[in-house]
Amino acid sequence: MKKLLRFIGNLIGALLLIAAILIGVSLYLDKDKNNFNLKGLLECRSVDEVKEWYSGTINQTPLGEPVVVESVSYDRYAYQHISEECQKTYDQIYDCIIKHTDKITLVTKDEKVLGDAYEAVMADYGNLFWVSGYQYNTYTIADDVVGLEFEPKYTMNKAQRDIDQVAVDDVADKWLQGISKDASDFDKVRYVYETLINNVDYNLDAKENQNILSVFLYKSTVCQGYSDAAWYLLDKLGVQSTIITGKANGESHAWNLVYLDGAYYYMDVTWGNSKYLDEGQDTKKRINYANMAMTTEEISQTHTITSSFEVPECVSNGDNYFVHEGLYYDWFGVDAIGNRLAESYNAGDAEISLKFSSTDLYNRVIDYFFKEKGISDYCHGVNSSIYYLQDESTNVITVQWR
């Protein structure tokens, strides 16, 4: 009787253990594959065999050991503003993408850390045109994550990537022939800003529009392509740039954070293309310099940042285009403004843009020079129905003479 009870007890124990394994434990179960070996479990004949099989199964993990990668990104902005765990994950992700590796085991087991690290990599490097997102495999025991596997989504193989890279560099190097690496930061940024707007059109249907191929190979892109290409050209010129993501006028958008002459500014090449904002008002593409080097206060009028890493408070206007070119006014100097307009008109310029320090000053200038026709006192012979463009978000007025 005792033997029977012992047998029944062992049997019940074995069944309970099997049930616990089947129901309560997830043995290295990832998103797409079930690595649980049911056949091996059913072949066990005792509680001890079940325990032995169970132990062997969890030790036969499909995960490789996570390899810590030496950083090559210590001077990148986003990298500097994420946690240490996130930095180690970032280093692994960047190394994986650069080497075109299929997948790697990460040092982190936190999905949020993975997401933040990948975002930081894409912010710090605008040249990774062969990858578009990623998937990850989560390995768990019960409710505990025991490993994360990162798997980039490549859009091409390594051979095609190398071919496209040569083509990209050929165009980029030709475009940069007009600027010296010894030029000032301001001149480099202005050159890149003008070059991209003059050579590349904004087009929602552009091929490869989420990376730099759209810019350098097809000359047609959207905000992501513009910001990635700006990063790429500035990086070649030795100017630090970071890709920022967020919303602009309620729509998803990307632009750049640039470091010029010891201070940070925001630059939005997309908005610098006048045809992007108002195809009806501007009959032809022109460069809107109001979006070349902006403060936090200025860009916050229309843009909202959603990047997960910390961004700086941009307060300097020393490299603002209008300040740099003597086209910025913080007082209602009628003669100073009038004479500057006359200088442009008499020189035969196509247009001139002036920026004002406040909305009140901006409105006073519009009222006096254009609504009350005060401009005719300075620009003799100017058409009474002179055409001017207003940018209320940046307090910029553009007068088009021709």
pLDDT in tens, 86-106: 999 999 999 999 999 999 999
What pLDDT score was predicted for residue 168? 98
12: pLDDT confidence band, cut at 50, 70 and 90? low
- What mean pLDDT comes out for the span 61-80? 87
- CA 217 vs. chain centroid, Å, equals 20
Of 212, 276, 312, 294, nearest in space to 303 by CA: 294
Which has the closest alpha carbon to 87: 121, 60, 110, 55?
121
Class of domain 326-402: alpha beta
For residue 120, what pLDDT is reported?
Answer: 98
Tokens of 169: 């560099």
Within 8 A by CB and 6+ apart from 391, the residues are 288, 290, 397, 398
- What the block records as the tokens of 197 is 């707007």
Q: Which residues contact 205 (CB under 8 A, 6 or more apart)?
A: none
State which H helix or E strand residue 335 sits in. helix 334-346
- Say yes or no: do domains 158-325 and 326-402 share a fold: no
Q: Give which of 136, 355, 122 is closest to 243, Cα–Cα.
A: 122
56, pLDDT greater than 70:
no
153 Cβ contact partners less than 8 Å away, ≥ 6 residues apart: 131, 132, 133, 134, 135
Q: Name the β-bridge partners of 399.
A: 352, 388
Per-residue confidence band for 9, with pLDDT thresholds at 50, 70 and 90: low
CATH number of 77-155: 3.30.1370
- DSSP type of residue 193: H
What would the pLDDT profile of 323-343 be if each residue is shown by its tens digit? 999 999 999 999 999 999 999
Which residues in 35-107 belong to E strands, given as ranges?
A: 104-105
pLDDT at 64: 75
Name which of 263, 265, 267 is nearest 255 in CA terms.
267
- Whole-number Å distance between alpha carbons of 328 and 38: 75
Could you tell me the pLDDT band of residue 6, with boundaries at 50, 70 and 90?
low
Q: Where is average pLDDT lowest: 25-29, 194-198, 366-370?
A: 25-29
Confidence category of residue 380, pLDDT binned at 50, 70, 90: confident
CATH code assigned to 158-325: 3.10.620
Euclidean distance between CA atoms 353 and 211, whole angstroms: 31
Q: Identify which of 229, 304, 237 has the alpha carbon closest to the alpha carbon of residue 266.
A: 304
pLDDT digits (tens, 9 = 90+) for 283-312: 578 899 999 999 999 999 999 999 999 999
Percent residues over pLDDT 90 in the chain: 71
Distances (CA, A) of 297 to 21, 80, 286, 315, 328: 58, 23, 24, 8, 16
Max intra-chain CA distance, the chain: 120
Residue 262 φ/ψ region, left for φ over 0, alpha for ψ in the -120 to 50 degree band, beta for the rest: left
Please, are residues 5 and 13 in contact by the beta-carbon 8 Å criterion?
no
Mean pLDDT of the chain: 86
The one-letter amino acid code at 171 reads V
Q: Where are the domains of the chain?
A: 2-59, 77-155, 158-325, 326-402
Q: What is the pLDDT of residue 258?
A: 98
What is the tens place of the pLDDT at every residue in 142-157?
878 889 999 999 999 9
Helix (H) or strand (E) holding 364, with range, is helix 359-365
pLDDT of residue 11: 53
Residue 194 pLDDT greater than 70, yes or no: yes
Q: Which residue has the higher pLDDT, 45 or 355?
A: 355
Identify the H or E element spanning 89: helix 84-98
Residues 6+ apart with CB under 8 A from 278: none
